[in-house]
Amino acid sequence: PNTLNAMYRATELADTARRLAWIGKEPDAFRKSGDPFIALAVRLHDTGLALENRRNEIDGNLERVIPQYMAAVIAWKKSQGKPVYPDANSTLRVTYGTVAPYAPRDGLVKGPFTTVEGIVEKATSKDPFIAPAPLLEAIKGKRYGVFKDPVLGTVPVNFLSSADTTGGNSGSAVMNKRGELVGLNFDSTYESITKDWYFDSAITRAIHVDIRYMLWLMKEVDRADNLLKEMTIKYPKK
């Protein structure tokens, strides 16, 4: 820590003008610099370049064998009479699932919903848990309106489902059995990392933002009434 503190005290890179001045300088100027951070960068350059070249080599080898691998997977799937899932990018893809909790390990059960109270619990006023004051005020004032879930007793933020999502599904619409928009997909749980290779419905969960939270934000926090008027919204009954 003392060495790092000394480097910060000695560097000139905190000054924007001096930092920008380095953009047009020749490599020899970097090698002769007495700035501790520039000197560190020079010393790490060869190692970083070697690592980058090694990564490029590995990526190149993968690019060469992936088509062969996919050809084998497609042939095997066809021999089993099974379809091959396309990536969601630039494709029309429909998947289905149910809203459900999951137990990633013994003694731990993760519920299917998070709520706005969780935002207050996590807010620290420091990155990455900086919550805007109007949002916290709306939650503490329990201004939930028609967006309050009757079972949860509050506004849901995110929910989990067993839908089989993949790369490119971020932003995909989530609909209920009546075809009504109930959320947007944006992520998967940690335990779902292997889902593209092995789908386990017991622990694979997609994460969706609840449409009620989005609409509640627009109405109670952002006061985006003009936008809400333009939408055809089926509000929950009070």
User: pLDDT 10s per residue in the chain (238 long)?
Assistant: 789 999 999 999 999 999 999 999 999 999 999 999 999 999 999 999 999 999 999 999 999 999 999 899 999 999 999 988 766 667 677 899 999 999 999 999 999 999 999 999 999 999 999 999 999 999 999 999 999 999 999 999 999 999 999 878 899 999 999 999 999 999 999 999 888 888 999 999 999 999 999 999 999 999 999 999 999 888 877 6
Query: Do 134 and 45 fall into the same domain?
Result: no
- Nearest one of 46, 20, 22, 49 to 33, comparing CA atoms: 22
Cβ contacts of 185 within 8 Å, gap of 6 or more: 163, 165, 169, 170, 171, 172, 173, 174, 206, 207, 208
User: What confidence score (pLDDT) does residue 166 get?
Assistant: 86
Integer Cα distance of 69 and 83 in angstroms: 16
User: What confidence score (pLDDT) does residue 229 get?
Assistant: 92
Integer Cα distance of 71 and 213 in angstroms: 43
Asked if residue 96 belongs to a domain, the reply is: no
Asked if residue 226 belongs to a domain, the reply is: yes
Query: Do 20 and 122 fall into the same domain?
Result: no
User: What confidence score (pLDDT) does residue 233 get?
Assistant: 87
Query: Do 73 and 121 fall into the same domain?
Result: no
Q: Which domain, by its residues, includes 215? A: 102-230
- Alpha-carbon distances of 201 from 82, 161, 178, rounded to whole Å: 18, 10, 23
Is 173 within 8 Å of 206 (Cβ atoms)? no
Long-range contacts of 147-151 (CB under 8 A, 24+ apart): 147/212, 147/213, 147/215, 147/216, 147/219, 147/236, 149/113, 149/212
Cβ contacts of 7 within 8 Å, gap of 6 or more: 36, 37, 40
Residue where a domain terminates, one of 84, 117, 147: 84
Asked if residue 238 belongs to a domain, the reply is: no
User: What confidence score (pLDDT) does residue 94 get?
Assistant: 86
Length of the chain, in residues: 238
Query: Do 165 and 207 fall into the same domain?
Result: yes
Is 210 within 8 Å of 157 (Cβ atoms)? yes
Query: Do 141 and 40 fall into the same domain?
Result: no
| Structural domains counted in the chain | 2
